[in-house]
Amino acid sequence: MTRLRSFGGAVLCSTMGRALFERERIGTWRLIGSELPYTYSPSTTLDFGFEDFDAFSPTDMVAVGGAGDVWEFNGQTWRQCAFPTNWGLSAVCCGGDGQVYICAGGGTIYRSRGDRWTRVAEADFALAFKDMVWYEDQLWCTSDYGLWTFDGKALREADVPSGVKICAGNLATRDGVLLVAGYGGAAFKRDGEWTVIFHDYALRELASKTK
């Protein structure tokens, strides 16, 4: 498993080997679309996905991973999309502006709707973005080392409290709430206000006192 997301009450899961599954009930998963071809050699790096996926609707989905491996699903069939680089792809977001955003390499962001991709932001990070979500009319990106926003013009370090920064790692958004969670803890934003759920150091301190 590489990613779990929920859409319309259903849980979807991506895996390496270009596979996307929907959970129908406990212990039962259904392959979405037909089985896709791939080759694998233990002596080489993986050149296929999927590391991440997102969707505008059940008939408009995008999955990415591997060396520039991008696929679209129209509800019936998968189609491989041309992509301008063979860098490793780590995250994808179907934005609220109708555009698809993909992270390639160590923080470079491409944007498109179809096969014509434009590089819109570039950063030289040691780690690629793990997650990208659309919140407050902009793109939010994160790794274990920080949290950034992209407003369509520039990639900037997110202006968040220090107690939220240490929670960077993964993102999720739903019903007007943005959740940030990682090794340092978890926090959420709602109605413009940040609330820290917990910090890792506080839990470790509590655990040490209860031994």
Q: What is the pLDDT of residues 9-45, one digit of tens each?
A: 899 999 988 999 999 999 999 999 998 887 665 555 5
Q: What is the pLDDT of residues 114-170, one digit of tens each?
A: 788 999 998 878 788 999 999 999 999 998 889 999 999 899 999 999 999 999 999
Contact 83, 92 (CB under 8 A): no
User: Where does the pLDDT of residue 211 fall: very low under 50, low under 70, confident under 90, or very high at 90 and above?
Assistant: low
Do the beta carbons of residue 131 and residue 142 sit within 8 Å? yes
CA 171 to CA 140: how far, in whole Å? 8
Q: Which CATH architecture has domain 3-134?
A: 7 Propeller (2.130)
Tell me the pTM: 0.90
Between residues 60 and 115, the one the model is more confident about: 60
The residues spanned by each domain of the chain are: 3-134
